[in-house]
Amino acid sequence: MKTTFANKETAQPRWFLIDADNKALGRLAAAVANIIRGKNKPSFTPHADAGDFVVVINAGKVRLTGKKELQKTYMTFSGFVGGHKSETVASIRARRPQLLIERAIKGMVPHTRLGRAQLRKVKVYPGAEHPHAAQQLQSLQIAA
C-alpha cells in the first residue's frame, strides 16, 4: 500500500460561492475554514495547501446569535503605550462588514505561513456583487 499526499502541484482547486445572508457567523466561518484547508476532500493533507477557493457574498447580512451584536468587542493593540483599541460588532458592521467574517475565519486556520496562504483563497464581499464570474462558481449551501 502506498500513501499519497496532496501537494500544491497535484491539487485541483475549485471555486465555491456561499451566500452569508441570515447565516450564523461561527457556523459559516467553520464551513469556509474547512473548505479552504481542504478538509472536505478525501486527499486532505494537513501540511499542504490543497484547499478550494471560496467567495462569500452578503457579508453585511451575517447573523450573530444571542446578545453578541451589542456585547461582543474586538480588540487590537499596536504595541505602543495607549495603543489599545476596542470596537463593537455594530461599529465594525457599519464600517467594514466583511471584516467580521474574515476575522472569524482567520481564527480557525493555522497561525503559520500555511494559514496565511489559505486565507488568500477567501474572497468576502459586503453585497451580492462580486468580480469572479469567470471562475464558474459552484453554489454551496451552509446550514443556517
Q: What is the pTM of this model?
A: 0.92
Tens digit of each residue's pLDDT (9 = 90 or more) over 8-40: 888 889 999 999 999 999 999 999 999 999 999
pLDDT band at 113 (very low <50, low <70, confident <90, very high): very high
Q: Which residues contact 62 (CB under 8 A, 6 or more apart)?
A: 20, 21, 23, 24, 25, 28, 97, 100, 101
Closest CA to 44 of 2, 7, 1: 7
**In the prediction, which pLDDT does 141 show?**
93
Q: What does the pLDDT look like over 59-102, one tens digit per residue?
A: 999 999 999 999 999 999 999 999 999 999 999 999 999 999 99
Residue 144 scores a pLDDT above 80: no
Residue 43 scores a pLDDT above 90: no
| Cα–Cα distance measured from residue 124 to residue 88, given in angstroms and rounded to the nearest whole number | 20
User: Tell me, what's the pLDDT at 2?
Assistant: 87
CA end-to-end span of the chain: 41
- Mean pLDDT (the chain, rounded): 94
DSSP H helical ranges for 20-136 = 25-37, 68-71, 89-95, 98-106, 113-119
Give all domains of the chain, ordered by start, each with its CATH number. 15-139 (3.90.1180.10)
